[in-house]
Amino acid sequence: MTTKNPNIRQPKHDPLSQLEGMSAAEEYLEDAILVAFDGCHKIYLAMDEEQAQFFRAEYPHVVERDYESMNEAIINWYEDSCSLRFINAVYTDELDPNAGFISLIEQFAS
């Protein structure tokens, strides 16, 4: 996925590989404000304050303390999720909101 927003870091991994995807998630966590989970299969890293505000208001599970707490949360959530699980980093892209979603681990990754 290509975006015109230079603030959105583009992935350099295979999102169909759980191993590569979790490694990418760890890298993205360094800049994440928080991580959020819907309680079933959607795991997000909010990469800017606008996205963080959305997840704080709309998602039941949010962790925004430190890197270690957020990393532990996404690992546990991923392991406990249903088979539709995925992890996305989300940036605000005013020109194309869909371009702000970066797939770190896609559904059905192995």
Residue ranges per domain, the chain?
A: 18-105
Determine the average pLDDT of the residues in 4-23: 76
Confidence (pLDDT) at 6: 53
Give the Å distances, CA to CA, from 33 to 24, 56, 70, 83.
16, 11, 9, 26
d(CA 89, CA 31): 10
pLDDT(1) > 50: no
pTM (2 d.p.): 0.89
